[in-house]
Structure 1
Amino acid sequence: MKNVTVTMDEALLKRARIAAARDGKSLSRFVAEAVEQRVGRPLSQREALERFLAGPPLHVLDENGKAPTHDQMYADD
């Protein structure tokens, strides 16, 4: 873990401290979680694969449900 200095308005700091205390967290943990919610966290390989597979389908099959042949895919047009 790295230490980071953050500058903020006094009023914001006070609200952040109150919110952290209300959540039963240190201010450091509260801020770190807020940043993580904003920028996200790295996905595991499994999470990335599941997200990809849950995405929109790739329409590579023709009207008969057949995939293109190797020659069709790499034909010079």
Structure 2
Amino acid sequence: MKNVTVTMEESVAEWARLEAARRNTSVSRLIGEMLAEKMRHDDAYERAMREALEFRLLPFEGPPLTREEIYAERLDRFR
């Protein structure tokens, strides 16, 4: 474990003291747990974003289709 000094507004410090007491823990442990959860959340978000950007629904080769080409089949049904 690493000790660090944190500077915050008095109102934030008061909330942290009350929240830590409510959870029956120390302010230091409360802040550490909150930061660890933030880190896990951000890591999971980054991983999901990378996977989503790598995901290909349809493998395309060549230039992208025009709007007319995309909707041609649907439009033909109504003619």
Q: TM-score, length-normalised on structure 1?
A: 0.51
**Which structure dedicates a bigger proportion of its chain to helix?**
2
Q: Does residue 7 of structure 1 match 2:11?
A: no
Structure 2: any 5+ residue segments left out of the alignment?
41-54, 58-79
Partner of 2:19: 19
Letter in 2 for 1:34: M
Q: TM-score, length-normalised on structure 2?
A: 0.50
1:42-53 → structure 2 map (5 Å cutoff): none
Partner of 2:34: 34
Per the TM alignment, residue 17 of structure 1 is displaced from its structure 2 partner at its CA by: 0.5
SS state at 1:34 partner: helix
User: Matched residues in 2 for 1:13 and 1:28: separation?
Assistant: 11
User: Matched residues in 2 for 1:27 and 1:17: separation?
Assistant: 6
Q: Which has the larger radius of gyration?
A: 2
Paired residues, what number? 56
Share of identical aligned residues, percent? Answer: 44
Backbone CA RMSD of aligned residues: 3.1
User: Matched residues in 1 for 2:56 and 2:31: separation?
Assistant: 39
Structure 1: any 5+ residue segments left out of the alignment?
42-56, 60-77
> Which protein has greater RCO, CA pairs closer than 8 Å, 6+ apart?
2
Per the TM alignment, residue 58 of structure 1 is displaced from its structure 2 partner at its CA by: 8.7
Structure 1, residues 33-67: CA drift from partner, whole Å, max 9, x if none? 010111x35xxxxxxxxxxxxxxx999xxxxxxxx
